[in-house]
Structure 1
Amino acid sequence: MVNGIDPSTSMAALFGARVRRLRTAAGLTQAELGALTHVVSTRITKIERASGAKPTLELARALDAALGADDLLVELWPYVYREAFPDWSRKFMEYSERAVGVRQYAAHVVPGLLQTEDYARAVLGLDALLTSEEQLEERVAARMGRQDRLASPDRPELCVILDEAVLRRPIGGPAVMRKQLRRLLDAAEERHITVQVLPFDQGGHEAMGGSLTVLLLPDGSEVAYTEGADYGQLIEEPSNIGRYKLIYDRLRAAALPPIMSLDMVRSAMEGNYRGANVPSRSERRRVAQEQLQQSSRGRLRGGGRRPPRPRPRP
């Protein structure tokens, strides 16, 4: 216990204790460390005491570099960041990191595990409670970091069902959407990832209110998680999980087969968001003028004379 702060009480307390230990070992005062990381000394005090605002990712990186922590603080930061979420949300994240199988239905946006950085920034930027650009970038970095597991040796099997609305809603604009849909097509080429689309013509279903995730854990147990615009619910009771598994199975049966689903993704990318690669009007005008000038120079090189007309045959 350091200065009455128990590192075991929270990740923020553990982070603060590590900062203090590293700072002391480096022979730095709080003011000197603040100067090295471009924050006031009271900010360092609050971090070490786990009081006030939690450290940002940018500050964690600066502290790590200044104290020569070899990425220790940067690796600890996501757990500190996670404490800002409700208990049920944090628990779901913990389950997700251990899951060997992930089955998701997404009603409105591409699931976080398959989002591009620009798409994630556009989605997360819609939160009315965001306080700063820095906070937005922290959330984007955290989301991108969670995708690393898809490339790790213990990566889970990922099965994603996208409502057709996910393909049609232009989050971030045409260029962002085109890149995001390309990401879906590329991801689906991986053997451990399956992408399906639930078309509009299937009508209503039991999960229309929001997203649904069913996780398979290493011990064979399962948990379910439902989420809407401003709520989330973690279901751990086995007797209740069966209902959500049935809902997911029905959605998967109603969705297009993977090959047809990818055709729909490709069609949306090349149809709805074709404008992402179309030159602007001013660019087209500039190219047209250049072509006219080239054509004029070609006539001048020919002496400006018209080619002789063919003589009529007698």
Structure 2
Amino acid sequence: MGNSLDAGQDAEVTDARREFAEELKSARELHEPRQLSQEALARLVRTSKSTLSRVETCKGSIPPELPAKLDEVLGTDGKFKRLSEEIVARSFPSLYRRRMALERSAIAIREWSPTIVPGLFQTADYARVLFKGSVPRAGEDEVAAHVRSRLTRQNVLLGDTPPDVSVVLCESVLHRRLCSREILRKQLKALLEAGERPTVRVQVLPLDAAAHLFSDWPVTLITAPTHQTSVCVENFKTAGIVDEPDHVRTALRTYDELTSEALSARESARLIATQMESLS
């Protein structure tokens, strides 16, 4: 998903960013039992007055940790977290936005990746290399904005009730030198740490595994609170979401076969650790 913003997207992101700023100013000024100045609120959320001023005037990026702190201090019941997620969602082309919405409310996410570490587990440096490779003419501001968006997407794994996440990676992902040895080593370390979470399972499909339905492209199966599963498939400049029951059942069966053919989570962790150590 390495796409530059077009004029329409840019306007939508600006609108969402302005809404965040206006809601922040309003919540601060209407705070009970008394209005909070920027300086007073900055102390409570452990940031600087200049940072809050830039956020309220839409002149700077929103620090990724700020929305949750604002919700906690201002008692806004997740409003600023939702607004920040909306800013991120609008930064993606419209064909990806339904996927973003599904992801945010999912109770289960199953991912297959034949080529790269999926976005939900990417480090900032790894994400930066991938984006610069896909959009070589992007300026540093655009690259930085993309990386922030990618990291903000990962908040779905950090809530009080995160989805159950299962990831199957082709073994080639561990060896593919898309970046420096150090960046890859740190990415594999992050992947190992992710796999230690109780709601995350990471498995590696060996290189000698048989061909399967998903061989050519990454696939994500996202299960909603209604227990309906959607199949998300991405390719060059395109993305599709499949809801047709027969196709969904076929995709689920294929994913189950992949998890059966893949190394166990423990064996996968050992393999990832071995490859990580070889990069030291």
TM-score normalized by the length of structure 1: 0.65
Distance 1:219 1:191 in 2: 22
> Which of 222, 247, 266 is 1:259 aligned to?
266
SS in 2 for 1:256: coil
Distance 1:178 1:223 in 2: 33
Distance 2:171 2:91 in 1: 32
Provide the residue aligned with 1:161 in structure 2: 168
Provide the residue aligned with 1:120 in structure 2: 127
Provide the residue aligned with 2:190 in structure 1: 183
Q: What amino acid sits opposite 1:173 in the alignment?
A: S
Provide the residue aligned with 2:203 in structure 1: 196
Report if the CA contact (8 A) 2:103-2:156 is conserved.
no
Q: Does residue 103 of the first structure (1) align with residue 130 of the second (2)?
A: no
Report if the CA contact (8 A) 1:210-1:229 is conserved.
no
> Which of 95, 99, 119 is 1:92 aligned to?
99
Report if the CA contact (8 A) 1:209-1:228 is conserved.
no
TM-score normalized by the length of structure 2: 0.72
Displacement after TM superposition at 1:122 (Å): 1.5
Report if the CA contact (8 A) 2:85-2:153 is conserved.
no
Displacement after TM superposition at 1:88 (Å): 3.0
Report if the CA contact (8 A) 2:170-2:206 is conserved.
yes
Displacement after TM superposition at 1:205 (Å): 2.0
SS in 2 for 1:207: coil
Distance 1:228 1:91 in 2: 16
Displacement after TM superposition at 1:189 (Å): 1.6
Q: What amino acid sits opposite 2:218 in the alignment?
A: S
Report if the CA contact (8 A) 2:116-2:173 is conserved.
yes
Please, which moves more after superposition, 79-88 or 101-110?
A: 79-88
Structure 2, unaligned stretches of length 5 or more?
A: 1-10, 30-52
Provide the residue aligned with 1:152 in structure 2: 159
> Relative to 1, partners in 2 of residues 1:81 and 1:116: Cα closer, same or farther, differing over 3 Å?
closer
Distance 2:189 2:266 in 1: 15
RMSD (Å), alpha carbons = 3.2
> Relative to 1, partners in 2 of residues 1:60 and 1:267: Cα closer, same or farther, differing over 3 Å?
closer
Q: What amino acid sits opposite 1:135 in the alignment?
A: E
SS in 2 for 1:232: strand
Q: Does residue 233 of the first structure (1) align with residue 240 of the second (2)?
A: yes
Provide the residue aligned with 2:46 in structure 1: none
> Relative to 1, partners in 2 of residues 1:18 and 1:115: Cα closer, same or farther, differing over 3 Å?
closer
Whose radius of gyration is greater, 1 or 2?
Answer: 1
Over the matched positions of the two proteins, sequence identity in percent amounts to 25
Distance 1:158 1:77 in 2: 23
SS in 1 for 2:212: coil
More relative contact order, 1 or 2 (CA 8 Å, 6+ apart): 2
Report if the CA contact (8 A) 1:89-1:234 is conserved.
no
Q: How many residues align?
A: 233
Q: What amino acid sits opposite 1:238 in the alignment?
A: P
Q: What amino acid sits opposite 1:217 in the alignment?
A: A
CA deviations over 1:142-166 (Å, ceiling 9, x no partner):
1111222322211011110010111
Distance 2:272 2:115 in 1: 15
Structure 1, unaligned stretches of length 5 or more?
A: 1-8, 27-35, 38-43, 45-54, 275-314
CA deviations over 1:151-197 (Å, ceiling 9, x no partner):
22110111100101110102321101111111122222222111100
Q: What amino acid sits opposite 1:204 in the alignment?
A: A
Distance 1:181 1:206 in 2: 26
